[in-house]
């Protein structure tokens, strides 16, 4: 009986063939914590009486939500993780000294690799499936169990095969593809399933596109998103000191899927998700016709804070000015992305246009800091959620879009089409 890539990853880890629906106990290659969720895990770890980590090199803490600390509470919260990292001489601890948004930083560091089983106490941990790994979010106490034992229990998920065909048009990106999928199946259409992205379009998608797609698999209720290893993955990993030897898996031709979705990407316009769900997708043409005035444009987050996002923003903003009524906030995903963007001149272009560039942080995305929306304000944002009050006031509105749309909208003052 054929297996999906997800079933093969779990089979390799447990030492026998397993299939969707089975409950398994599985070793974990990388456990990821952040400044919001890790203190809960640490307390559970200490309450258990544990005195050592089962796999210290397979545990990373990334302080990325409120770093540098926005207030006393966030400073004290971060201190818990700092003290724990020091106590256990944690090798993979990242704060202001080498900071980044966790789901951009760990692939950059080579700490997550193809064939891994990865968990994190952050729902967008599914991002790392872009590398051909199984990666999913869990609760803080689940992390603590993995810290103590080195593994955890999983129900092997069923898979939905997403067949993408055609070459994307200019300014149609991985963000638009995943927004279209979520529009088609809804925010619970892939509940506890893997979205397996396949088809001829994949060879035209950069790693940044793939990270965006897998990142937002959770917005369709999915347990994970995954793209099989190929030459583009190989090139991305080629300059990295990988934490482990990659294990490459591919789905069998006769693998079983619970559903197959087919999308002609060549005819797909950039997609805008209207408030208040990522599934409320509309063509950018509709958004232009609706004349949606904005107060803020945000480019960043674990979904779209990578170098390609800053590149396209700079290309559109070059020689232009941000609309007088709009704030443009740009948040690079990591310090390395920031430095490279600066070297290539993107930062100067953004600042010259009237934008502001912040340190790497999740702050704006979750309505924490560095870009909170006030009452009745409207934002076009490259983040991944647009729930009521997600980026600030409960009366504010967030329209999700790709980075090109956000950049041109910052200039026009309305949601605009970059093409």
pLDDT digits (tens, 9 = 90+) for 27-85: 999 999 999 999 999 999 999 999 999 999 999 999 999 999 999 999 999 999 999 99
Query: Which pLDDT tens digit goes with each residue over 99-113?
Result: 999 999 999 999 999
Asked whether the domain spanning 272-412 has the same topology as the one spanning 5-263, the reply is: yes
Domain ranges for the chain, please list them: 5-263, 272-412
In terms of Cα–Cα distance, which of 173, 221, 174 is closest to 194? 221
The CATH class given to the 5-263 domain equals alpha beta
Task: Show pLDDT as tens, one digit a residue, over the chain (419 residues).
Answer: 899 999 999 999 999 999 999 999 999 999 999 999 999 999 999 999 999 999 999 999 999 999 999 999 999 999 999 999 999 999 999 999 999 999 999 999 999 999 999 999 999 999 999 999 999 999 999 999 999 999 999 999 999 999 999 999 999 999 999 999 999 999 999 999 999 999 999 999 999 999 999 999 999 999 999 999 999 999 999 999 999 999 999 999 999 999 999 999 999 999 999 999 999 999 999 999 999 999 999 999 999 999 999 999 999 999 999 999 999 999 999 999 999 999 999 999 999 999 999 999 999 999 999 999 999 999 999 999 999 999 999 999 999 999 999 999 999 999 999 99
Phi, psi (rounded to 5 degrees) for 368: -90, -55
pTM for this predicted structure: 0.95
CA angle 198, 180, 277 (to 5 degrees): 130
Two structure tokens written together for 242: 């990988």
The fold of the 272-412 domain, in CATH, is Aconitase; domain 3 (3.30.499)
Take residue 152 and report the two structure tokens written for it.
Answer: 């955890």
Q: What angle do CA 306, 266, 182 make, to 5 degrees?
A: 60
């Amino acid at each position: 009986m054929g297996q999906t890539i997800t079933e093969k990853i779990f089979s390799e880890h447990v030492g026998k063939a397993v299939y969707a629906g089975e409950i398994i106990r599985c070793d974990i290659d990388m456990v990821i914590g952040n400044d919001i969720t890790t203190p809960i895990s640490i307390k559970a770890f200490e309450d258990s009486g544990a005195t050592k980590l089962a796999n210290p090199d397979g545990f990373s803490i990334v302080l990325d939500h409120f770093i540098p600390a926005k207030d006393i509470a966030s400073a004290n919260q971060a201190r818990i993780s700092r003290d724990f990292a020091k106590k256990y001489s944690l090798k993979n601890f990242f704060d202001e000294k080498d900071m980044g948004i966790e789901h951009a930083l760990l692939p950059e560091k080579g700490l997550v690799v193809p064939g891994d089983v990865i968990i994190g106490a952050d729902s967008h941990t599914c991002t790392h499936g872009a590398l051909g790994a199984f990666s999913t979010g869990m609760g803080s106490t689940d992390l603590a169990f993995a810290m103590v034992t080195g593994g955890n229990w999983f129900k092997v998920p069923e898979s939905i095969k997403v067949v993408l065909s055609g070459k994307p048009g200019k300014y149609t990106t991985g963000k638009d593809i995943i927004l279209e999928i979520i529009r088609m199946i809804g925010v619970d259409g892939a509940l506890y399933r893997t979205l397996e992205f396949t088809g001829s379009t994949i060879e035209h998608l950069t790693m940044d596109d793939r990270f965006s797609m897998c990142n937002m698999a959770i917005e369709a209720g999915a347990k994970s998103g995954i793209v099989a290893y190929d030459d583009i993955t190989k090139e991305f990993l080629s300059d990295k000191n990988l934490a482990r030897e990659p294990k490459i898996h591919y789905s069998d031709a006769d693998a079983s899927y619970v559903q197959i979705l087919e999308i002609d990407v060549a005819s797909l316009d950039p997609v805008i998700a209207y408030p208040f769900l990522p599934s409320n997708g509309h063509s950018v043409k509709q958004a232009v016709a609706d004349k949606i005035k904005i107060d803020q444009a945000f480019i960043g987050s674990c979904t779209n804070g990578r170098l390609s996002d800053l590149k396209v923003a700079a290309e559109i903003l070059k020689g232009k000015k941000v609309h007088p009524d709009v704030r443009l906030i740009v948040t690079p995903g990591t310090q390395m992305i920031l430095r490279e963007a600066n070297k290539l001149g993107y930062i100067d272009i953004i600042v010259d246009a009237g934008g502001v560039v912040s340190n790497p942080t999740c702050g704006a995305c979750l309505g924490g800091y560095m870009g909170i929306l006030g009452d009745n304000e409207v934002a076009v944002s490259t983040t991944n959620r647009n729930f009521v009050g997600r980026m600030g006031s409960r009366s504010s509105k967030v329209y999700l879009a790709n980075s090109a749309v956000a950049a041109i909208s910052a200039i026009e003052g309305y949601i605009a089409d970059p093409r």
